[in-house]
Amino acid sequence: MKNAVGREIPVGIAGYNIAPYQGPWSCIPSRQASGGKCINVSASEKVLKSIDAAIDAVGLRDGMTISFHHHLRNGDFVMKLVVDAIARKGIRGLKVAASSLSAVQDAIMPHLEAGVIVAIDTSGIRGEIGKFVSAGKLPNPVMIRTHGGRARAVESGELPIDVAFIGAPACDRYGNINGVDGPAACGSLGYAIVDAACAEKVVAITDNLLDYPLQRISIPQTQVDFIVKVDSIGNPQGISTGSLRISTNPQELLISQYAATAIEYSGYFRNNFSLQLGSGGPSLSAAKFIKEKMQAKGITAAFGVGGITGIFVEMMEEGLVNLLFDAQSFDSRAIQSLRQNPRHLEMSASYYASPGTCGPIVNHVDAVILSATEVDINFNANVLTGSNGKLMGAPGGHPDTAAGSNLCIVALPLVRKNFPVIRESVHTIVTPGETVDVIVTDRGVAINPLRKDLIYNLKDSGLPIMQIEDLQRLAYEITGTPGPKPAGGEIVGLVEYRDGTIIDVIRKMG
Amino acid sequence: MKNAVGREIPVGIAGYNIAPYQGPWSCIPSRQASGGKCINVSASEKVLKSIDAAIDAVGLRDGMTISFHHHLRNGDFVMKLVVDAIARKGIRGLKVAASSLSAVQDAIMPHLEAGVIVAIDTSGIRGEIGKFVSAGKLPNPVMIRTHGGRARAVESGELPIDVAFIGAPACDRYGNINGVDGPAACGSLGYAIVDAACAEKVVAITDNLLDYPLQRISIPQTQVDFIVKVDSIGNPQGISTGSLRISTNPQELLISQYAATAIEYSGYFRNNFSLQLGSGGPSLSAAKFIKEKMQAKGITAAFGVGGITGIFVEMMEEGLVNLLFDAQSFDSRAIQSLRQNPRHLEMSASYYASPGTCGPIVNHVDAVILSATEVDINFNANVLTGSNGKLMGAPGGHPDTAAGSNLCIVALPLVRKNFPVIRESVHTIVTPGETVDVIVTDRGVAINPLRKDLIYNLKDSGLPIMQIEDLQRLAYEITGTPGPKPAGGEIVGLVEYRDGTIIDVIRKMG
């Protein structure tokens, strides 16, 4: 048959699926918002007047999955703005797939109660939403994922996202986005990068709409369908703390000192080692001690990974760390550094931690210091619930970096508020004991018996090393033996291990 | 049932696909080269001893599709090294999906003749391979794609790649890659970025294996399965010319001057306009005239797009162009600039030109100057074959930017070696006439009648404007009326338009 330019085109050649040409703008390939000249004379089609208009434009309807990133943390306005607008339209039965939920998201509680949202997929869950889930009021079990596991699930299609709503600190008029410029700058967009690449439709919500094209691009225009300008996407005070302070609590300093010493003697403390530090107290304080040890021995690190904080930036600026890989910027100094320093690199959650790739960067971390709500005599760690089962935390990258790193240290006090946190069995297993190498407390240090190399290396460290069971007994001596784990009711949540299997469940409480 | 940490896991919850946890490294998600601690103690597993070992490791077998990028252009050693190794193993019946084929790839002719390669998917085709295809000797019709169309086909799964072999000017021991460092630096890796993201397996071939981690990353470790170190991936002389020279041919200078004047009067020559210039003679010479006009009027461009050459870099360095977006670096000055200048940005072929995205950058190009082997009175352009049907070129980004830009100028001499290049009908339609706005020759300028705005704007430009039919008659007066288009035999190739439809076919010659 003849095509639109009059050429004879065969329609049947074995092995080829042949469609004759119909004109330069007649055939719209899938996921194509704009085909060319007919549209490109102005970029304004992507910029819509309101979130309502964007909801219409993407065809959002009952039962779909919408996603959000949590880089704006406790300052985020985007989720509430979007879900309020969806609710006003009468759309119901949605799944919210969030990279995490902060306390600020309690603002969407009315929409959980009203059935606008009936399912949640997240890393963290706490506050009123946590109570709602624990009370068995969400119609579907909540799915708890690690940062790497979520990236794996999104990229593999296991967690399909219909519409990603992306809070964009800087966005040009054709959808190029970054997180470092603007009044609500949050730094890295590591979680959002995965959603933008994989969602069926992407809507950028920005309070900083800029002329085309952006110089610095973290999420490209090719992935962004529509843009909505709002007054503000977030409260800077809630997005980042000014700068995280190192503890002056002597117990916490002792734990941090032990953790730093464990690294020093582990065998991994050598030139060009790599380090991950979280934003928790022990990690931050340990950074100070590690820094002193590095300076004393003249050792520098090839790279740091995180969750990046100001103290890590300081180490880079002082020449102690060569490169920083940043999936999430925790404070204003980290945000500023990511903006300015070419040795401070943004990475996606997939690059950070997904086990579904050819190898995330956690596989190359030598030493990481993590916290936990409780650990048990099998070295299992709980970072999601309290010992009573209350939802109050997030796996985050904990299981990912524990599995990837050469030396995973969990640092925590032996006892918190007269409750033992070294137990016979944790309430919720989030990070399996095989991946936790050393547990550091203020009263003693336990080494995983699987790690004979570490037992050998740390024997002259001067650390108060003991068996994990002895630590547990010591804790129980102080607090008394805790009662049995509450049985709980029906299943209200699933705790996914990073590889997609289910490592534990969350049951109805009370 | 109980999972590996002893927790009771339900196996049937409606809407959830539940697999109980089996241990931290037991379950390997798809496309996972390395799951964690068991492997990550050393990165050396990705680095294999030889290309032969990589072929074994990826499980390459008869009938698969292997891909290559052409950023090493006529200096590329990678394709020959890989296909030689494949042939030695007795594997046959492969499809080669190359972003383009340069003359140097004639080195794989023996493998076409022997049936190691039985299908080709490419933008450019020329030399001995072109003759082989034209003679009907390839068992399957060759598929010719545009740069944007190839990105669309790869990203949509229409062109599935089993193994991408990626020539890597710089590669660390865990597979992070860039194109700007090393003896075979080629600059942008725009085509390879798409293949690495979408291929089932990715093998990096490098002559510059570096310590982990690379600071500058164009292709991430998460996409690279294996790495092979070879002596050399390419000859720098063939990769880039030292610097492209501007013509001194008076006919070419006249054409370039006309093209620059057409831009000046088009209505798009205003502050913050955008410009694409190719590597062809008319584009390069026109750059000089455009530059003078910009300086004279005090106009600067928001960005430039390409195929980037030294003259474009010069314009950026002089402050005439704010940003450069680079899918392919044409000369050593462009490569150096991409390495050093943060306003010189690398982009993927998808970002450049794919119509399957939410909008590639070509949609925002105001003016582009292109060349062609011939054009016709319907403004159709041929950039693939001669008027006699001989395979000698490549669509490249020609149809993409013609469709995307506001002003597409095709600049060429009226007559080449006594053959008319303005014809009643081109031999092969690659770029449809509706997307070509102005045809500029040394003897006159024709404006597409669809563009009444341009006809109006250019009336006072002083350009020798005439009807396209008059240009064609003028050409025929000089050369005599050419004979009819050779009918050709069976179909040996398909010319795909960027949207996936077939715009023309290539027939057996002689």
Per residue in A350-397, pLDDT (tens digit) is: 999 999 999 999 999 999 999 999 999 999 999 999 999 999 999 999
Q: What is the pLDDT along chain B (510 residues), one digit of tens a residue?
A: 898 888 888 888 877 878 888 888 777 665 433 333 333 333 448 999 999 999 999 999 999 999 999 999 999 999 999 999 999 999 999 999 999 999 999 999 999 999 999 999 999 999 999 999 999 999 999 999 999 999 999 998 899 999 999 999 999 999 999 999 999 999 999 999 999 999 999 999 999 999 999 999 999 999 999 999 999 999 989 988 766 677 788 999 999 999 999 999 999 999 999 999 977 778 888 999 999 999 999 999 999 998 999 999 999 999 999 999 999 999 999 999 999 999 999 999 999 999 999 999 999 999 999 999 999 999 999 999 999 999 999 999 999 999 999 999 999 999 999 999 999 999 999 999 999 999 999 999 999 999 999 999 999 999 999 999 999 999 999 999 999 888 889 999 999 999 999 999 999 987
d(CA A375, CA A340): 39
A21 and B502 in contact by Cβ < 8 A?
Answer: yes
**Which pLDDT belongs to residue B29?**
64
> What is the torsion angle, in degrees rounded to the nearest 10, for the CA atoms of residue B391, residue B392, residue B397 and residue B402?
-80
Q: Does the pLDDT value for residue A34 go beyond 80?
A: no
HEC sequence for B2-63 = ECCCCCECCCCECCECCCECCCCCCCCCCCCCCCCHHHHCCCHHHEECCHHHHHHHHCCCCC
B502 and A9 in contact by Cβ < 8 A?
Answer: yes
**Which pLDDT belongs to residue A41?**
32
A354 and B222 in contact by Cβ < 8 A?
Answer: yes
- On the 0-12 / 13-18 / 19+ scale of CB atoms within 10 A, B157 is exposed
Size of interface A-B (CB pairs under 8 A): 292
Q: Sign of dihedral through CA atoms A273, A277, A282, A284?
A: positive
Q: Does the pLDDT value for residue A47 go beyond 60?
A: yes
Q: Is B369 helix (H, G, I), strand (E, B) or coil?
A: strand
For residue A213, cis peptide bond before it (omega within 30 degrees of 0)? yes
Closest CA to B501 of A35, A11, A22: A22
Query: Which of B41, B356, B361 lies closest to A30 in CB terms?
Result: B356
Tell me the nearest-neighbour CA distance from B426 into chain A, angstroms: 11
Query: Which chain B positions have a beta carbon within 8 Å of A354's beta carbon?
Result: 222
Query: Which chain B positions have a beta carbon within 8 Å of A63's beta carbon?
Result: none
Nearest Cα residue in chain A from B4: A503
For residue B352 the two structure tokens come to 């450049």
Give the pLDDT band (50/70/90) at residue A176. very high
Tell me the nearest-neighbour CA distance from B238 into chain A, angstroms: 31
**Which pLDDT belongs to residue B484?**
87
Closest CA to B239 of B332, B162, B171, B153: B332
Query: Which of A29, A211, A406 lies closest to B356 in CB terms?
Result: A29
Q: Does the pLDDT value for residue A303 go beyond 70?
A: yes
For residue B480, how many other CB atoms are within 10 A of its CB? 11
Nearest Cα residue in chain B from A222: B358
- DSSP structural state of residue A485: P
- DSSP structural state of residue A362: G
Query: Which of B223, B351, B363 lies closest to A36 in CB terms?
Result: B363
CB-based contacts of A416, cutoff 8 Å, min separation 6: none
Average pLDDT over residues A268-287: 90
**Which pLDDT belongs to residue A30?**
54
d(CA B234, CA B228): 15
From the candidates B491, B502, B508, which should be mutated to test the interface with A, based on the most A CB atoms within 10 A? B502
**Which pLDDT belongs to residue B337?**
98
**Which pLDDT belongs to residue A427?**
95
CB A3 within 8 A of CB B483: no
Q: How far apart are the first and last CA of chain A?
A: 72
A179-191 core/surface letters (b: 16 or more CB in 10 A; e: else): bbbbebbbbbbbb
Give the global pTM: 0.95
Q: Which amino acid is at B78?
A: V
Q: How far apart are the first and last CA of chain B?
A: 72
Average pLDDT over residues A191-201: 96
Tell me the nearest-neighbour CA distance from A84 into chain B, angstroms: 26
Average pLDDT over residues A129-145: 96
Tell me the nearest-neighbour CA distance from B172 into chain A, angstroms: 13
A222 and B499 in contact by Cβ < 8 A?
Answer: no
CB hemisphere CA count around A357 (13 angstroms): 33
d(CA A259, CA B262): 70
For residue A59, how many other CB atoms are within 10 A of its CB? 11
- Note the Cα B82 to chain centre separation in Å: 21
A31 and B356 in contact by Cβ < 8 A?
Answer: yes
A3 and B343 in contact by Cβ < 8 A?
Answer: no
Q: Which amino acid is at A77?
A: F
Could you identify the residue written with the tokens 């991409």?
B338
Closest CA to B168 of B200, B217, B199, B204: B204
Closest CA to A204 of A244, A195, A213: A195
Could you identify the residue written with the tokens 């506050």?
A127
Closest CA to B487 of B509, B503, B504: B509
User: Measured between alpha carbons, how far is residue B145 from residues B65, B99, B153, B394, B503 in Å?
Assistant: 16, 9, 9, 8, 10
A19 and B500 in contact by Cβ < 8 A?
Answer: yes
Nearest Cα residue in chain B from A399: B24
Could you identify the residue written with the tokens 């309290």?
A386
Tell me the nearest-neighbour CA distance from B20 into chain A, angstroms: 5
CB B433 within 8 A of CB B418: no
Query: Which chain A positions have a beta carbon within 8 Å of B1's beta carbon?
Result: none
- E strand spans, B405-484: 407-411, 415-416, 419-420, 422-423, 438-440, 445-447
d(CA A428, CA B104): 61
Nearest Cα residue in chain B from A379: B5
Closest CA to B490 of B472, B473, B506: B506
**Which pLDDT belongs to residue B163?**
97
Average pLDDT over residues A495-506: 94
**Which pLDDT belongs to residue B18?**
82
For residue B194 the two structure tokens come to 């798409």
CB-based contacts of B338, cutoff 8 Å, min separation 6: B179, B180, B187, B188, B308, B326, B329, B344, B346
Give the pLDDT band (50/70/90) at residue A29. low
Tell me the nearest-neighbour CA distance from B36 into chain A, angstroms: 4
Query: Which of A41, A351, A362 lies closest to B406 in CB terms?
Result: A41
Average pLDDT over residues A171-187: 97
CB B208 within 8 A of CB B184: yes
- E strand spans, B343-405: 344-346, 367-370, 374-376, 381-382
Query: Which chain A positions have a beta carbon within 8 Å of B354's beta carbon?
Result: 222
**Which pLDDT belongs to residue A38?**
33
d(CA A312, CA A278): 10
Query: Which of A223, A272, A502 lies closest to B19 in CB terms?
Result: A502
Q: Is B273 helix (H, G, I), strand (E, B) or coil?
A: strand
Tell me the nearest-neighbour CA distance from B304 into chain A, angstroms: 11
Tell me the nearest-neighbour CA distance from B248 into chain A, angstroms: 34
Its ipTM equals 0.94
B499 and A27 in contact by Cβ < 8 A?
Answer: yes
Average pLDDT over residues A482-489: 86
CB A199 within 8 A of CB A193: no
Query: Which chain A positions have a beta carbon within 8 Å of B340's beta carbon?
Result: none
d(CA B69, CA B351): 16
d(CA B144, CA B123): 5
B24 and A432 in contact by Cβ < 8 A?
Answer: yes
